[in-house]
Structure 1
Amino acid sequence: MPSHAPLRAGAGVPVSKIGARRVATIAFAAQGACVAAVYTTVPAITEHLKLAPLLTTALTVGVALAAGGGSFLGLAAIRRAGPVAAMRGAMLAAAAALVLIGWAPGRTSVTCAYLLFGLAVGALDVGVNTRAAEIERAYGHSVFGSFYTAWSMGGVVAALLTAGAARLEWPVVGGLSLQAGSVLLLAVCMRTHDLPAPEGSQATVAQTPLGHRVWVRLIPFGLVLLVVYVIESSVSAWSAVYLRQTLAASLTVAPLAYAGYQAGTVIGRAGTDRLVQKLGTGTVVRTAALLAAGALAALAAAPGWPFAVLAAGAVGLGASVLAPLCLASAARLRPTASEAVLARLNLFNYVGVVTGGAVGGLLGSTGHFRLAYALPAALAVLLLAAARHFTQPSIPTRTERIPPVERADPRPLG
């Protein structure tokens, strides 16, 4: 049974919000680990295969473009088999891509492996965010931040594994194979848990057009997501190379900026849901945007790698809350078609990744990596104008929370 289907009499499966939330958390952690494993090994792959700087930039852009296509593959998989099955399949494909990247003997094979990774991570992105939107709707309060905390924790662990493998002088294939095995294990551990939903809400998703007004209301969220992922891509894709080339850090130290960035996102996202409930979404968004802008400026001016690692952590602290709150607010525009909304919103995501990756790579290849962080600092200030479009989650009605057949059952819910 697809994970989004409502329970029917005699199904024998209890509604389990806790179980569904745990599975989604695992998938978010796996996605964060995959992305970190790829980005933090870029310097090692570049040196191992003797790739030209422009080719490395092209591969980064190619991953983002493939991920955009993967979003629509993920959407098709969700409609056919449900978000949990789509997440599991995407995780298996991502694990295979990590192994192929590590074992690639030349430029053609590594290019194909990176493109496969992009398709897999794009499909996984739609799956995890769709499931998170369903779970937040079932809970009736902000929980998106907790999922992205898991994403960041997965990234921190993967970045530290990359640094540890370099410290032990392992070949890059060894480190990536270890990371792929971890993702594979997480995929195997995933289970399906049903969530209550309004009668017939999911049956009409594929046939219901979003409408022109929804597209217009998506524009502010798309622009926010674009800027956020320019920042994300600039730090994630190029911070290791920035430390290595501009700040003369070793291969052991170079991944620590990414680890610092993800550590900052863990802290920021761990407090997101509580801050939203206490201060309101708009206030949290404005504060986060200002913090991200200041930290990016500090990263651009870093005199050495220790300062850069701290600045990257501050960037993560500020930027971390913006994407989950943006996606959660956008999904509430059309709750019964959240996967369609998020698949299209992801286009802004990958435009941001392409822009950040391409601009960062081009500036870096000409010796101006510091500008790659100064420019996003200016863009982050512009996010203040979009804060008013962010909304709070609403508490679901009793009909939404408990299907009629379950209300008649005196046994406690699972």
Structure 2
Amino acid sequence: MSLNATRGACARRPTPKAGARSVATLAFAAQGVSVAAVYTTVPAVTEHLKLAPLLTTAMMVAVALTAGAGSFLGLAAIRRAGSVATMRGAMLTAAAALVLIGSAPDEATVICAYILFGLAAGALDVGVSTRAAAIERAYGRSVFGFYYMAWSVGGVVAALLTAGAARLDWPVAAGLSAQAGIVLLLALCMRSHALPSSAPGPSDTLTQPPLGRRLWIRLIPFGLVLLVVYVVESTVSAWSAVYLRQTLAASLTVAPLAYAAYQAGTVVGRAATDRLVHKCGAAAVVRAAAPVVACALAGMAAAPSWPFAVLAAGAAGLGASVLAPLSLASAARLRPAASEAVLARLNFFNYVGVVIGGAVSGLLGSTGQFRLAYAAPAALALLLLAAARHFTQPPPRGTQPMAARRARSGHGSAPS
């Protein structure tokens, strides 16, 4: 009886892969909450501190630029302390930045708070992507869609919380503090779990093979997709609330709903991403998503009122949902042994897209041309069709790239 009970307890105990997957899910959700908290409160922060439109645009661009720097800080932290510790530290920093944004008494303080958030967001971004790539290798199947679904769920929760806080006439500090509390809670729930294939030590990858200049060339198709995706993402995320407020005369309660609809669309798309990749292939999924994004952005540009813009934002999220996770997953498979360094390089395209989308949309919006800010990315989205053929499938579990097999086959064939 005692032996059977012991076996039953062992069977119910979470496997290392399951524990690692839970930790990554919490981190992706926290990232979604924190990013949504920042973007959906831009109109409220702007009105509270009476910021000039150009200063608001500059702050959003500063967030993107510092996030790019934060991704390389995160890469260094991963190599010293591991991805889980890096993610936890970045989440705690992001929570502190949210509180500081809400309580900032003047322009200088809020600018510093946004810069701090950008650094934390960049470090968290490379941390979650690295961890997801390692888990995908352990499972031997696509998992990035699931994680980005958690990101989107977090974004929906935070956007609805922003709308609810405005409805209840809460000060912006109260709403951001509540969102920071969610991020803090998720950070405290995280526990370290080593994957079965992970070697012991602080870093997920102890030996870092040289990447070489050719890797940049191989990253270009995925980088271009990410660039376009994050032009779309930043245009919708950073400015949809302002667009609804200024151009479509929506209230502060309604303004965050376009962001919520966008993230709800990504939840639906990302819930099906991994199954679609398994059934149809990554390239086919990308080819189907590109025209959906283009048509949805055109719909946002032509929206006669805020309900139409909210519906179009949801459709844009549905189409864009698959592009970032599949780009990151395919890029990470270029060099599985150094995925964190590859993804840090790929993040360059990510933040260029955020800067371009955020800056151009903000400048157009400050001159009353927000509709053009949504029409231009619609044309860019069709360019994604040219890059679709470069997207790859995850190798089946138990298989290894040829280079890895050669490295391990010193005395005969490598074990599968």
Using the size of structure 2 for normalisation, the TM-score is 0.91
Residue 127 of structure 1 pairs with residue 127 of structure 2: yes
Unaligned runs of 5+ in 2: 1-12, 402-416
- Is the partner of 2:207 in helix, strand or coil? coil
Per-residue CA deviation, residues 186-230 of structure 1 (Å, 9 max, x unaligned), is 00000011112276982212xx21012222101111111000000
Which residue, out of 195, 203, 206, partners 2:206? 203
Matches within 5 A, 1:23-42: 23-42=23-42
Are positions 1:317 and 2:322 aligned together?
Answer: no
Partner of 1:286 in structure 2? Answer: 287
Cα 1:335–1:306 shift into 2, 3 Å: same
AA partner of residue 130 (structure 2)? T
Q: Is the 8 A contact 1:149 1:269 kept in 2?
A: yes
Q: Secondary structure at the match of 1:351?
A: helix
Matches within 5 A, 1:186-265: 186-197=186-197, 202-205=205-208, 208-265=209-266
Deviation at 1:398, TM superposition (A): 7.0
Give the 3-state SS of the residue equivalent to 1:303 in structure 2: coil
CA separation in 2, counterparts of 1:199 and 1:152? 31
Task: Find out whether 1:91 has 2:91 as its counterpart.
Answer: yes
Seen in structure 2, the aligned counterparts of structure 1 residues 41 and 198 have a Cα distance that, compared at 3 Å, is closer
Q: Distance in 1 between matches of 2:399 and 2:314?
A: 42
Alignment of 1:43 onto 2:38: no
Residue correspondence of structure 1 range 323-334 to structure 2 within 5 A = 323-334=324-335
- Alpha-carbon distance between aligned partners in 2 of 1:237 and 1:61, rounded to the nearest angstrom: 10
- 1:36-115 alignment to 2 at 5 Å? 36-115=36-115
In 1, Cα distance between the equivalents of 2:265 and 2:206? Answer: 40
Letter in 2 for 1:144: F
**Letter paired with 1:377:** A
> 2:408 corresponds to which residue?
none
1:354 maps to 355
8 A Cα contact 2:263 2:314, kept in partner: yes
Residues 217/47 of structure 1: CA separation in 2 closer, same or farther (3 Å cut): same
Aligned partners of 1:197, 1:25: CA distance in 2, in Å? 19
1:29 & 1:50 partners in 2: Cα distance? 31
Q: Partner amino acid for 1:204? A: T
Could you report, residue by residue, the CA deviation over 1:68-111 in whole angstroms, capped at 9, with x for unpaired residues? Answer: 00001100110001100000000000000000000000000000
- 2:374 corresponds to which residue? 373
Q: Aligned in 2, Cα 1:399/1:385: closer, same or farther, shift over 3 Å?
A: closer
- Secondary structure of the residue that 2:61 maps to in structure 1? helix
Give CA deviations for 1:288-331 in whole Å, capped at 9, x if unaligned. Answer: 11100010000100000001000000000000100000000000
Q: Does structure 2 conserve the Cα–Cα contact (< 8 Å) formed by 1:15 and 1:195?
A: no
The answer (yes or no) to whether the contact 2:79–2:205 under 8 Å persists in 1 is no
Tell me, in whole angstroms, the C-alpha distance in 1 between the residues paired with 2:400 and 2:389. 30
Q: Distance in 1 between matches of 2:198 and 2:159?
A: 41
Counterpart CA distance in 2 for 1:152 and 1:14 is 25
Pair 1:300 & 2:301 matched: yes
Q: Give identity over the alignment, percent.
A: 78
Against the structure 1 CA distance between its residues 398 and 211, is the aligned structure 2 distance closer, same or farther, given a 3 Å change threshold? closer
How far did 1:395 drift? Answer: 1.4
The answer to whether the 8 A contact 2:141-2:397 is kept is no
Q: How far does residue 15 in structure 1 lie from its aligned partner after superposition? A: 5.3
1:198 and 1:399 in contact (8 A); partners too? no
Letter in 1 for 2:119: L
What is the alpha-carbon distance in structure 1 between the residues aligned to residue 206 and residue 263 of structure 2? 38
Letter of the 1:276 partner, please give it.
Answer: V
User: 1:357-410 CA distances to partner (integer Å, 9 max, x unpaired)?
Assistant: 00000000111000010000000000000000000000132799xxxxxxxxxx
Contact 1:15 1:196 in 2 (8 A): no
- Please report the RMSD computed on the Cα atoms of aligned residues, expressed in angstroms: 1.6
Aligned pair in 2 of structure 1 residues 94, 396: CA closer, same or farther (>3 Å)?
same
CA distance in 1, matches of 2:237, 2:222: 21
Tell me which residue corresponds to 1:404: none
Q: Find the residue that maps to 1:169 and give its secondary structure.
A: coil
Aligned partners of 1:122, 1:288: CA distance in 2, in Å? 26
Instruction: Report Cα offsets for 1:149-202 as digits up to 9, x if no partner.
Output: 000000000000000000000000000000101100100000011112276982
Q: Aligned-pair distance for 1:147? A: 0.0
Provide the aligned length of Structure 1 versus Structure 2.
387
8 Å Cα contact 1:15/1:194 also seen in 2: no
Residue 348 of structure 1: CA displacement? Answer: 0.5
The aligned residue for residue 5 of structure 1 is: none
Deviation at 1:16, TM superposition (A): 1.1
The letter of the residue matching 2:210 is P
Contact 2:66 2:119 in 1 (8 A): yes
Partners of 1:250 and 1:297 in 2: how far apart? 23
**CA distance in structure 2 between the partners assigned to 1:39 and 1:381 by the alignment:** 26
Q: Which residue of 2 aligns with 1:136?
A: 136
Q: CA–CA distance in 2 between the matches of 1:61 and 1:369?
A: 17
Q: Write the distance in 1 (CA, Å) between the matches of 2:400 and 2:257.
A: 48
